[in-house]
Structure 1
């Protein structure tokens, strides 16, 4: 089946006054291989398992960050990377969520070359595996869906700068805030890497 298709009732559907939209899978094509494992059981049960795993991972990350915070260590990008702890894990994360590719770029700029290169190499290898298995068509389908999905930025569940700014009617402000935070993070990493 098309990993980017809409399959009621399992595909989330958001309805608000003056707005309704389906919430299809926007993950890159490699996610289809992971999701195939969930096809071993009935779809509704798979959905519930995936939701439970997602919630457990989120809770674990929050607990780890709170522990770091309570012990006086700095919370931020370095603490989050500490949870991943290796370039391979960062590369796996990038293969599922390409927007995290900013991490190895910032690490590289801060002088942490080895984890940065390992992360990018891992993400490229995973993408190449999927390309060999399914061919380039699946990437074209994914890119088309992502390019035409701007309307969902207003979802209340989208807590990104872009989503918050779009709901406020100032979509360009979201991009400006994201770039400013990225530059601020890069500056902090640069100086941290030089100590």
Structure 2
């Protein structure tokens, strides 16, 4: 399918540019289970909070603790990502449907929905983010509006809707997968640097 084709192309590109072995392919659920022994798709907020406590993860004071995705993102950033792609590139895919953003959503054999979204990690660093692109302008608008509703409910300002993008999407987008590759991070890894700033010349 298109997501698999996008992952294959990304994998081939990284092998060529970084002279690596083929990437390990891991579901989001398996990555969490490996690091924290928890299934992030079905875990409750209390279970995610307990996993954070067991792992010694500090909870930021400003975090919205009544949102599952806030806990998922915290655990991903503070524990799961550190274990990804340590020896060879690793592509994580099938993120929670609530994190689909611009990606299509499918139902798994386990019975829950996941986003056809994937990210590439190498040596604990995220190098790329990809989507099996959502082609439905109505659904995309609904998602943007849901994000704004959540922002307003939490006391933040709503974001302006990208009307030009939505209009273009309504005109028609063929099935495709898009990938954003961080060239500066890729260069940093290729040169064996410990910081992006050295590679870009920033002070």
* The two structures share one fold, judged by TM-score above 0.5: no
Question: Of Structure 1 and Structure 2, which has the larger fraction of its residues in helix?
Answer: 1
Q: TM-score range by the shorter chain?
A: under 0.3
TM-score, structure 2 normalization? 0.26
TM-score after normalising by structure 1: 0.26
Q: Select the structure that is richer in strand.
A: 2
